[in-house]
Chain A
Amino acid sequence: MNGPIIEFARVNKWFGKFHVLQDIDLAVGRGERIVVCGPSGSGKSTLIRCINRLEEHQEGRIVVDGVELTEDLRSVERVRREVGMVFQQFNLFPHLRVLENVALAPICVLKLPRKEAEARATQQLARVRIGDQAKKYPGQLSGGQQQRVAIARALCLQPKIMLFDEPTSALDPEMVKEVLDVMLELATQGMTMVVVTHEMGFARSVADRVLFMDQGRIVEQNPPAEFFANPRNERTRDFLAKVLPR
């Protein structure tokens, strides 16, 4: 298949009266790396949470890897297997050890035997360079380590798409790099990625396309070189002036 792997067509969503997504049209190609930025409240988190239906859209169509997201639970569960997600607050399961955190989905979803699931989890933990912490509880790890475990957990079902919802915003500054490095590595391996972030350096070096959102709309989208050098929209210019170091 050569068509887009994620497709939004005139998607609308409201939180009560608040129109959080307005007429979103978006197509993400296979292997494409998208960075979404914008001021807080602009709808960027809601946008990516719609991709694995943590939020339900109210109008329009969302198709992920050929499956349209609807009320039908089975199609939603199918999509969630193909889409890994990394959260701002890590959301690791504190009552499970690191290895069990990562092995849970292979056991529950793929029905793998425990041994096999743990072998697979060990592999993913090594991939994010945290294999030596497998026996610890999440609470014993630093923020950066926890976020890398969360990435391993999201990777454990071998998803086609990875969503990152401000993955470095809750981290101490000296831990941001270790997480970005893991994300960078994923990008070079050809993973389709949609990343909400304020790390403009990451956007510049990794993204194929940068989206700027404001008040529920995608205001501007361009390859990073063009986006940063020559922002067309006034609000984009305002935003960049505030977040970019001079």
Chain B
Amino acid sequence: MPLAAEGATPAPDSPRAPPRCARGPGAWLRANLFANVPSAVATLLLAAALVRVLPAAVRWLVTDAVYSPDYAACRALDYRAACWGFVAQKYRLILFGRYPYADQWRPLAATLLVVVALLVTAHPRSWRRWLWPAWVVILAVFLLLMGGGAFGLSRVEPGLWGGLPLTVLLTLVGMAASIPIGIVLAVGRRSHLPLARAASALYIEMVRGVPLITVLFVASFVFPLLLPMGLRLDVLTRVVLGITFFQAAYMAEVVRGGLQALPRGQYEAAISVGLTWWQAQRKVILPQALTLVIPSFVNSLLSTFMDTSLVTVVSMYDLTGALRLALGDPQWRHFFLEGYLFIAAVYFTSCLAMSRYSAWLEHRLGSWARRPEALRA
């Protein structure tokens, strides 16, 4: 008995086209918003809510808002609309903290320099040997611009640095310095040498058992007492060291996760062609492990970026801290909502950029990891 009716059997050598799939806006709407009754109801409810909320939000945020730093006009609003006048009045204090007002072009230039350098560094095409010395120079210029004391720039104590440049510096140096330490700790924790293993594990568990705020207190108030006489480190250096060594413990576990994911055969294949343990780590194990953990790296990067606001506890004023300084003005202190919305926008834009970049990088570096499994035997 034939399985199908004669007429329905296609000619044996005519290739069958895949079933047609519906396209166009109508089909998209049906598939995504009105696929079934519950989803249609949800769509309608949300649309209704948007219609109610959106105009009010636009009025509050944009159309009715006051943009000039005019206190009387802002008071007259009686909170019925946003007073961006506060941000217009105080943006330099928020962005640069207590840095001397007349010299604030210096933190601006320093921050722009680092941001541009980061953008260039972000592309794999610039991952060459010259990148390391270039960054040493960039950091030196950054510190010179901020700190002054040469080339006719007046000296500005690190205690006065604040706002965005401080946030950028703490995040950048904290992250960059903690990754290599984290790699060493992670490799140490998996070493076959008992002493290296115990030391790494002890460090990681101890640091992870302490909140960052405690580390900052210790770095700021206790650590100077422990330094030998005559040796002094300024508060900024101590805080950077604190953040770095704190972050390194978390980095170590991130890297260890990547190392754990590699099959043992990779290491065996590397040493069986005569590579030493170091060469195997450097050429075979770490490049794969680090690519695998890019998402977790970015996780840590974002949380470090935000955690830097904790330095206010040791009287340093990063972006968040500087906003609080600005809100200390009794005239403007009612407009904290606008202030926080402003720095939230700064944080959000930066974090979105970083996370989109990481997704792109993961895609680019990991192309070897995304080949269809079916091709492997």
Contact = CB atoms under 8 A, between A and B. Distances in A.
A binds B: yes
A168 to B, nearest CB: 10
Contacts of A105: 273-275
B376 A143 contact: yes
A152 to B, nearest CB: 11
A109 B275 contact: yes
B265 A81 contact: no
Contacts of A175: 377
A143 B266 CA distance: 17
Given A94-B288, A137-B368, A137-B371, A142 B377 contact: yes
B276 interface: yes
Given A89-B265, A95-B287, A139-B368, A54 B377 contact: no
Contacts of B287: 95
B376 A80 contact: no
Interface in A55-108: 73, 77, 80-81, 83-85, 87, 89-96, 104-105, 108
Given A91-B266, A108-B279, A108-B283, A80 B272 contact: yes
A242 to B, nearest CB: 24
B271 interface: yes
Contacts of B368: 94-96, 137-139
Contacts of B276: 73, 77
A139 B377 contact: no
Q: Which of A87, A105, A154, A171 has the most CB of B within 10 A?
A: A105
Interface residues of B, number: 25
B283 A104 contact: yes
B369 interface: yes
A170 interface: yes
B340 to A, nearest CB: 44
Interface string B257-290: 0000001011011111111100100011001100
Nearest to B273: A105
A146 interface: yes
Nearest to A145: B377
B291 interface: yes
A81 B272 CA distance: 8
A148 to B, nearest CB: 12
A80 B279 CA distance: 14
A137 B288 CA distance: 14
B369 A104 contact: no
B275 A87 contact: no
A83 B268 CA distance: 13
Contacts of B272: 52, 54, 80, 83-85, 154
Contact of A104 (B265, B273, B291): B273
A139 B375 contact: yes
A157 interface: yes
Nearest to B269: A91
B349 interface: no
Q: Which of A73, A90, A91, A105 has the most CB of B within 10 A?
A: A91
A58 to B, nearest CB: 16
A154 to B, nearest CB: 7
A144 interface: yes
Given A54-B268, A146-B376, A80 B284 contact: no
B265 A87 contact: yes
B367 interface: yes
A54 B12 CA distance: 55
Contact of A142 (B271, B291, B369, B375): B375
Nearest to A54: B268
A146 B376 CA distance: 8
Contacts of A170: 377
Contacts of A172: 377
A156 interface: yes
B271 A146 contact: no
Contact of A144 (B269, B274, B283, B377): B377
Contacts of B371: 137, 139-140
A164 to B, nearest CB: 12
Given A54-B271, A95-B287, 8 more contacts: A54-B268, A81-B274, A87-B265, A94-B368, A104-B273, A105-B274, A150-B269, A157-B274
22 contacts: A52-B272, A54-B268, A77-B276, A80-B272, A85-B269, A87-B268, A89-B263, A90-B377, A91-B265, A91-B266, A91-B268, A91-B269, A93-B288, A95-B287, A95-B369, A96-B368, A105-B273, A109-B273, A137-B371, A139-B376, A146-B376, A154-B273
Interface of B: 263, 265-266, 268-276, 279, 283-284, 287-288, 291, 367-369, 371, 375-377
Interface of A: 52, 54, 73, 77, 80-81, 83-85, 87, 89-96, 104-105, 108-109, 137-144, 146-147, 150, 153-154, 156-157, 170-172, 175
**Which 8 A-B pairs give the minimum distances between C-beta atoms?**
A143-B377, A139-B371, A91-B269, A105-B273, A91-B265, A109-B274, A85-B272, A81-B274
